[in-house]
């Protein structure tokens, strides 16, 4: 459960790329501080509502295992779109990729608690503390 959440949070950290993106003249439109802020924040917008909705869907329909695989797939798809947007220097495509990745990240984070509950039924507080 810890590695699942680590992977989802690891891709959020794009701050080291700012220096490279800001200096690259091929971006359309150019990456300034405002657009960089969009990159940083767009992934959190879906997390206002989606983790609750995703939790209900996982509980009622899919189960934890399938739910985690699906939402990790969404995160990977978003990162692929972000990569393609970065490769062709298209801001809106890269921003869309960050948004798609954000759709999965919040749900993955909330599902780690469910994973902990399955494997540590008598020590749930300890298990959630680890994640």
Q: Considering its fold, how many domains does the chain have in total?
A: 1
Please give the mean pLDDT across all residues of the chain: 82
How large is the C-alpha radius of gyration of the chain? 17
Most trustworthy range by pLDDT among 9-13, 87-91, 101-105: 87-91
* pLDDT higher than 80, residue 20: yes
Torsion of CA 32, 33, 39, 42, to 10 degrees: -130
* pLDDT higher than 60, residue 1: no
What ranges in the chain are assigned the alpha helix state H?
2-10, 18-23, 33-41, 50-57, 64-87, 91-119, 124-130
DSSP secondary-structure letter at 90? B
* pLDDT higher than 70, residue 7: no
* pLDDT higher than 80, residue 123: no
Burial of 82 (0-12, 13-18, 19+ CB in 10 A): buried
- Domain limits for position 88: 2-130
């Amino acid at each position: 459960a810890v590695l699942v959440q680590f992977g989802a949070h690891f891709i959020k950290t794009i701050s080291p790329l700012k220096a490279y993106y800001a200096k690259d003249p091929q971006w359309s439109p150019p990456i300034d501080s405002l657009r960089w802020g969009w990159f940083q924040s767009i992934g959190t917008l879906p997390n206002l509502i989606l983790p609750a909705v995703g939790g209900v869907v996982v509980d009622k329909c899919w189960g934890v295992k399938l739910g985690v695989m699906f939402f990790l797939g969404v995160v990977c798809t978003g990162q692929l779109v972000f990569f393609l947007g970065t490769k062709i220097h298209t801001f809106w495509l890269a921003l869309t990729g960050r948004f798609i990745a954000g759709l999965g990240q919040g749900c993955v984070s909330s599902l780690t608690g469910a994973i902990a509950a399955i494997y540590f039924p008598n020590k749930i507080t300890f298990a959630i503390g680890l994640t």
